Amino acid sequence: MVFSSLIFLVVFFPLVLLFYFSINKSSTKNIILLIFSLIFYAWGEPVYIVLMIFSSIVDYTNGRMIEKYRDRSILPKVFLVFSVIVNLSLLGFFKYSNFLVGNINSIFNTSIAYRELRLPIGISFYTFQTMSYSIDVYRNKVKAEHNFPNFMAYVSMFPQLIAGPIVRYSLIQKELTDRTITKRNVLDGSIRFIQGLAKKVLLANNIGLLATSIISSHGEVSAMTAWLGAVAFAFQIFFDFSGYSDMAIGMGKIFGFTYPENFYYPYTCTSITDFWNRWHMSLSTWFKDYLYIPLGGNRKGNLRTILNLIIVWSLTGLWHGAAWNFMLWGLYFGIILIIEKFVISSLLEKMPVILKRIYSLVIVLIGWVIFMLDTPKDIVNYIISMFSFGRMADIEVLFNISNYGVILILCVVFSMPLNLSQISEKLRIPKLLKESAYLIFYIGIFLLSIVYIVDNTFNPFLYFRF
């Protein structure tokens, strides 16, 4: 079940709210959330629910054990290692075994048999959450959770279960047992949800049609068409992903939880380092806190720093999907980050902002080409097309721009921070007019989203490989 579906909006979500708000006690509310989250998860994959429950039990038990035997020298570490091994094995088996065996077979010309496993949705998100919990308990950053339903509710929490943000236990520990639901938060959460829904349904899905048509055309495309395809994909994945995050954060607010922000206008970045401070922030900080820093970060000399960056970014890439192009995508960013850190940092500083932006966006767009195409051959051909200035434009560019011009402009506008209240103040727009515009805008985008969901000829779920 995805948030941008009628079954979610018209049946599931209203039912959750009905039960949730007819009960006062926090612990009972958690059980309601838990039950609905399990239904939500079971919706597409009833079998894999066992996996999630198993993962929760393991980490719940480990957390308690680490706490109980905190004073014994080696035991806490044993439990921690056990937790990490179990989580990584689950992830490894269900997400990467096909990939691994496939590669072994092709490299060594063997024919090890393997069953194509369907990837359990959201496994990359919840294993990372439970792992971070065990590590935090071990590091004494959080107290172990004693109430299993509360813990399970945290792991399975449906708003952020399938597409993030990655919520660390430390962040919502307090709210799990003691949260206040205010009218203000419910309203803000609703607005945030509508924003996310509109981003996904109106912007991402529509610009996605353009991206898909260019990517799937395979044949020779002109340079401008190739760039247009990359730009369209960049907008699609941004509005899709950040739209999901907005909906998650909004629902969290309605339920009384504070989830971390996940995107901060990534396409206004002025360097690739800056981009990764703005893109999927809950993932990049996770890798930083639980991998990069434990590896020694930048404190063990330049060579070690470079090695650490390579490791972290290859794995970040691989986290996005079990395929070489994702690994390559991660490595690509790793290498550029290393170059930015050690080679061109002073040059970057001196560059005018406009050049910094162009530089960053070109790098990011080429990154998306690696991300969106499966095989090295397709990637290379596509990048060649982008720089084949001999075939600059064709009729397709004009047709695509005339078809998607309005959507493209909207995408550009909504990827930039707009300080509307400041603008309206400058223009001295009367308050009543301003409020009416606000009202009409949100009601408008909500209704439009419903209209576009009803005719859902194109409503892809992009994170099935995460």
Q: How far is the CB of 229 from other proteins (least distance, A)?
A: 14
Q: Which of 200, 350, 204, 163 is nearest to 271 (CA)?
A: 350
Yes or no: say if 41 and 156 are a contact pair by the CB < 8 Å rule: yes
With respect to other proteins, which residue has the nearer C-beta, 49 or 363?
49
CA distance 462 to 464: 6
Known active-site residue 146: no
With respect to other proteins, which residue has the nearer C-beta, 12 or 126?
12
Q: How far is the CB of 395 from other proteins (least distance, A)?
A: 5
CA distance 405 to 411: 10
Q: How far is the CB of 447 from other proteins (least distance, A)?
A: 7
CA distance 150 to 178: 11
Q: Which of 455, 435, 14, 449 is nearest to 196 (CA)?
A: 449
Q: Which of 69, 265, 446, 461 binds other proteins (CB under 8 A)?
A: 446
User: Which range binds other proteins by CB under 8 A, 40-48, 170-178, 302-310, 331-339?
Assistant: 40-48
With respect to other proteins, which residue has the nearer C-beta, 132 or 449?
449
With respect to other proteins, which residue has the nearer C-beta, 106 or 216?
216
Q: Which residue in the list 146, 218, 280, 320 is annotated as catalytic? A: 320
Q: Who contacts 256 (Cβ-Cβ below 8 Å, separation ≥6)?
A: 175, 179, 180, 181, 185
Contact flag: residue 456 with other proteins (CB under 8 A):
yes
Q: How far is the CB of 47 from other proteins (least distance, A)?
A: 6
Q: How far is the CB of 144 from other proteins (least distance, A)?
A: 34
Residues 186-225 that bind other proteins (CB under 8 A): 186-188, 190-191, 194
Contact flag: residue 21 with other proteins (CB under 8 A):
no
Q: Which of 23, 27, 28, 46 binds other proteins (CB under 8 A)?
A: 46
341 burial via Cβ count (<10 Å: 0-12, 13-18, 19+) = middle
Q: Which of 47, 74, 353, 416 binds other proteins (CB under 8 A)?
A: 47
Read off the amino acid at residue 195: Q
Contact flag: residue 431 with other proteins (CB under 8 A):
yes
CA distance 37 to 31: 10
Contact flag: residue 22 with other proteins (CB under 8 A):
no
Contact flag: residue 402 with other proteins (CB under 8 A):
yes
Yes or no: say if 170 and 141 are a contact pair by the CB < 8 Å rule: yes
3-class DSSP state of 44? coil
3-class DSSP state of 127? helix
With respect to other proteins, which residue has the nearer C-beta, 45 or 175?
45
DSSP 382-432: HHHHHT-GGG---HHHHHHHHHHHHHHHHHHHHTS---HHHHHHHTT--HH
With respect to other proteins, which residue has the nearer C-beta, 381 or 459?
459
Residues with catalytic annotation? 320
**Chain positions contacting other proteins, by CB under 8 A:** 1, 5-7, 9-11, 13-14, 43-47, 184, 186-188, 190-191, 194, 394-396, 398-399, 402-407, 431-432, 435-436, 438-439, 442-443, 446-448, 450-452, 454-457
